[in-house]
Structure 1
Amino acid sequence: MDFTSERRLDDGLLEREFTLGEIPGTLWTPESAAAAPLILMAHNNGLPKGEPRLVARARHTAAQGYAVASIDAAGCGDRPRSAADQQARADLRRAMQAGEPVDGIFESFIGPLVEKAVPEWRTALDALLALPEIGGPVGYSGWTALGIRLAVAEPRIAAAGFFAGGYVPRAQREEARQVTVPLLFLLQWDDEGNPRQRALELFDAFGTKEKTLHANMGGHVGTPWFELEDGGRFYDRHLK
Structure 2
Amino acid sequence: MGKIALITGASRSNDMGSAICRRLASQGIDIYFTYWNAEEEWPDKFKKEILEFGVRCDGLYIDLSDRNAAFTILDSISNTLGFPTILVNNAAHSTSDGYVNLDAKTIDDHYVVNMRSTFLLCVEFARRFEKSQQQSGRIINLTSGQDISSMPGELAYAATKGAITAFTKSLSIELAPLGITVNAVNPGPTDSTWMTDEIREVLAPKFSMGRIGLPEDAARLIGFLASDDAEWITGQVIHSEGGFFRS
TM-score by length of 2: 0.43
Q: Which has the higher helix share?
A: 2
Higher strand share: 1
Say which structure, 1 or 2, has more relative contact order (CA 8 Å, 6+ apart): 2
